[in-house]
Amino acid sequence: MKNLLKSILGAGLAASLALSTSTASADGFYIGAGAYKSSIDTNLFSEDDIVPAGFLGYQILDVGVLMLSAELGYYDLGDYSKNGNTVKGSAVTLAGVAYLPVGPFIELYAKVGLASINGETKTNGNKDDFDGTDLFSGAGFAIDIFDTVDIYAEYLRFDTDVDSELIGVGVRLDF
């Protein structure tokens, strides 16, 4: 199932690149950063943390009613501790992002991609790493404040050994 989803994602990104050289335009690079509430749920505990995140993207396609981007990101998944047990993690991501303008200043978007997870749990003095590549997905909206500045809010879910969810807000700058 994971291989099928990875193949579909790869084919979608390749098709986006092929389409971007035809009649559509692209706006170029953007960067963003935000603050997120990270939540995990394990068999030991359920906790929240406030964490940073950042990303760099490139708008591949803009046909007016749909925009497609490729995005590289870093997300801190949190550092949690309770009763001597700890969980911490981070993710480097590569995602495809589809934007749908719903007015002159608002865009809805969805992102799907791969996350390279680096994490660690400590329980009863035993340390266990949970590194690997997993799928992640999310959805959000952005509000244009100025021509090149957006405020965004998004929800992300990482499909890891320790289920992680992020809800955050931030700023995106277009170049």
Domain residue spans of the chain: 2-174
Nearest to 12 by CA among 74, 81, 69, 76: 69
Q: What is the pLDDT along the chain (175 residues), one digit of tens a residue?
A: 455 445 444 544 444 444 444 444 557 999 999 999 999 877 777 788 999 999 999 999 999 899 999 999 999 999 988 888 888 899 999 999 999 999 889 999 999 999 999 988 888 878 888 888 999 999 999 999 988 999 999 999 998 777 789 999 999 999 8
Write the single-letter amino acid at 121.
Answer: T
What pLDDT does residue 121 have? 83
Question: The domain at 2-174 falls in which architecture?
Answer: Beta Barrel (2.40)
Nearest to 95 by CA among 113, 78, 83: 113
Tell whether pTM > 0.75.
Answer: yes
How do residues 104-131 score in pLDDT, each as one tens digit?
899 999 999 999 999 888 888 788 888 8
